[in-house]
């Protein structure tokens, strides 16, 4: 009688470990965070709103002061039922500039994550994001997006698809399909700090991903668990007709060695190829640009290979699950011609306190990595709707419960790269709610090795490595039932790996970006008011730091 709980723990660990084996397949939105096991109470909330605000931005170096009026409309919606779990936050804003130095602007920002269980075996999943982020890793890194911000593009990305799970005797079958689309607009303002050769501008891409697996838990037909899996992934991008195509297949075993620990190992075969066509060049060999500043594709050029791998890879790891609140998993192996490390760790201290860490390594494109990132975000997240300068969803996104603490998108948004690349790094988030206070933080490191065809005209990224470090903190406290304060701090460092970024820039080519905002809010029934202050600075290489200050007052009416 005393041994039965031990057996249950072993099986729980084994099943959890078997599911984790998918992490060695290509990173795709299929790996989105699963819904909590407990059935949620039924809750449906839809809150549309309109908003008006006045913003002032002051350049503390040159003395220029810009101001504009904003009118916005948006909606915050959340649903938690036995079949559907999801949240949508979307906002459209139009800015009316005062004077000739600040033009009008349209801004879209939002995030959506929805999981819908159609039948006990069939689930539909979807996600989308609209945000603004920096374009060229060599230039300015705006952290508070007010005024004439340079080096910033508007981004949209969505994906959706079904997941199917079934059993055939002791075998668990899984199949998934995802269709995704990503669009990036050209930067609105040029960046005077950039020189030398320009990088190309991302346009749009369409991606298709199919995965399937069959697994048997430990003890069903053998002492160890067995998983056989495969995948096909293809993305086509319009800029230079770039293409990513990958075929994957592998087998894994999972061997429990204690009630809390299991060993896992796997071997697989993969074939990945990224390719593109050349740009049209003029008589001097300079790439020809279209009216949006993108390279014009030479339709007659042969398809050039930017990256290719075709062969066997392998890894081994450990799964540790001492209780239902803690899970740690790590893998080390050989992949992409070198050592590869991946892993995850989650800790739910309570219903309102959670921590998550992710170590990743994979060949990516901007569209694929962005769709993966939003797919890994929780279905219930903090919107920061009391933050006067607005939640742009271009950094860390924090969950509203300890079971889903959130995730960071800084690794993909460090710049918008048209080239394919190997992405490696680590990030972690923590989210805490204590009484009337909520706080959290995110920290991480990202490295990308960029791939492009050698001697392709106009391309300067071949073989380059860029990297970034980032950190973010937020704090919100309710002072009374109708008022409160919030604060945000952030710091980023970017190293482009590009030596030639301008004749005026020598030595260190890194870019620093740091700043903070503070907000006071007070609600009068359906009418909410905010007052915010911000301070921001960025520094490119050995140039002097640029400092700016921001102030905002606004009012929002919720229907």
Give the model confidence (pLDDT) of 245-296 as tens digits. Answer: 999 999 999 999 999 999 999 999 999 999 999 999 888 888 888 888 888 9
| Domain layout of the chain by residue ranges | 4-558
- Residues in a beta bridge with 157: 129, 182
For residue 493, what are its two tokens? 């460092």
Helix (H) or strand (E) holding 370: helix 366-375
pLDDT mean across residues, the chain: 86
Query: What pLDDT score was predicted for residue 144?
Result: 77
Task: With beta carbons less than 8 A apart as the criterion, state whether 191 and 222 touch.
Answer: no
| Residue 385: pLDDT over 60 | no
- Residue of 49 and 462 predicted with greater confidence: 49
Query: What pLDDT score was predicted for residue 388?
Result: 66
Strands 404-408 and 304-323: unpaired
CA angle, 508 as apex, 504 and 509 as ends, to 5°?
70
CA gap 311, 449 in Å, rounded? 20
The SS3 of residue 174 is strand
Domain covering 4-558: architecture = Beta Barrel (2.40)
| Residue 34: pLDDT over 80 | no
Percent of the chain's residues with pLDDT above 90: 65
Query: What pLDDT score was predicted for residue 184?
Result: 95
CA gap 318, 10 in Å, rounded? 14
**272 Ramachandran zone, left/alpha/beta (phi>0; psi -120 to 50):** beta
Task: With beta carbons less than 8 A apart as the criterion, state whether 235 and 202 touch.
Answer: no
Measured from the Cβ of residue 545, the count of other Cβ atoms closer than 10 Å reads 12
| Residue 87: pLDDT over 80 | yes
Of the pLDDT bands very low, low, confident and very high (cuts 50, 70, 90), residue 63 is confident
Region 236-241 average pLDDT:
93
């Amino acid at each position: 009688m005393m041994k039965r709980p031990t057996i249950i723990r072993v099986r729980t660990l084994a099943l959890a470990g078997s599911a984790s084996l998918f992490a060695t397949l290509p990173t795709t939105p299929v790996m989105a965070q699963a819904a909590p096991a407990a059935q949620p109470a039924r809750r449906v909330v839809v809150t549309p709103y309109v908003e008006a605000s006045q913003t002032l931005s002051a350049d503390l170096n040159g003395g220029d002061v810009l101001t504009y009026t904003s009118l916005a409309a948006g909606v915050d919606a959340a649903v938690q039922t036995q079949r559907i779990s999801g949240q949508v936050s979307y906002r459209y804003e139009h800015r009316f500039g005062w004077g000739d130095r600040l033009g009008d602007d349209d801004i879209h920002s939002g995030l959506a994550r929805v999981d819908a269980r159609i039948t006990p075996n069939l689930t539909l999943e979807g996600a989308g994001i609209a945000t603004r982020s920096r374009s060229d890793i060599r230039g300015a890194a705006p952290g508070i997006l007010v005024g004439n911000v340079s080096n910033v593009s508007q981004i949209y990305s969505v994906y959706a698809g079904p997941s199917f799970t079934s059993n055939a005797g002791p075998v668990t079958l899984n199949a998934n399909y995802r269709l995704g689309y990503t669009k990036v607009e050209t930067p609105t303002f040029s960046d005077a700090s950039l020189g030398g050769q320009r990088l190309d501008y991302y346009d749009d891409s369409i991606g298709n991903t199919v995965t399937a697996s069959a697994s048997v838990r430990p003890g069903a037909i053998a002492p160890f668990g067995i998983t056989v899996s495969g995948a096909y992934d293809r993305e086509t991008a319009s800029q230079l007709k770039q293409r990513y195509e990958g075929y994957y297949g592998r087998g894994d075993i999972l061997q429990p060695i204690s009630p809390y620990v299991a060993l896992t190992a796997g071997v697989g075969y993969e074939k990945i190829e990224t390719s593109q066509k050349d740009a049209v060049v003029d008589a001097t060999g300079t790439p020809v640009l279209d009216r949006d500043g993108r390279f014009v594709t030479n339709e007659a050029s042969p398809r050039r290979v930017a990256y290719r791998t075709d062969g066997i890879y392998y890894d081994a790891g450990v799964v540790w699950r001492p209780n239902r609140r803690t899970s740690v998993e790590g893998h080390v192996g050989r992949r992409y011609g070198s050592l590869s490390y991946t892993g995850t760790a989650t800790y739910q201290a309570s219903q309102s306190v959670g921590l998550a860490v992710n170590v990743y390594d994979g060949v990516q494109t901007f569209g694929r990595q962005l769709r993966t990132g939003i797919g890994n975000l929780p279905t219930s997240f903090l919107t920061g709707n009391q933050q006067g300068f607005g939640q742009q969803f271009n950094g860390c996104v924090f969950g509203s419960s300890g079971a889903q603490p959130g995730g960071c998108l800084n690794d993909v948004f460090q710049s918008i790269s048209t080239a394919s690349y190997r992405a490696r790094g680590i990030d972690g988030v923590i989210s805490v709610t204590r009484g009337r206070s909520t706080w959290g933080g995110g920290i991480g490191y990202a490295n990308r090795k960029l791939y492009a065809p050698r001697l392709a005209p106009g391309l300067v990224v071949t073989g380059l490595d860029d990297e970034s470090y980032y950190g973010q903190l937020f704090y919100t406290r309710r002072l009374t039932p109708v008022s409160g304060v919030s604060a945000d701090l952030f710091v980023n460092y970017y190293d482009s790996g590009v030596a030639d970024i301008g004749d005026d820039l020598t030595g260190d080519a890194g870019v620093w970006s740091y700043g903070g905002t503070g907000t006071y809010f007070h609600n009068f029934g359906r009418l909410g008011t905010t007052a915010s202050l911000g301070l921001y600075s960025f520094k490119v290489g050995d140039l002097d730091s640029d400092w700016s200050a921001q102030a905002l007052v606004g009012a929002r009416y919720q229907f």
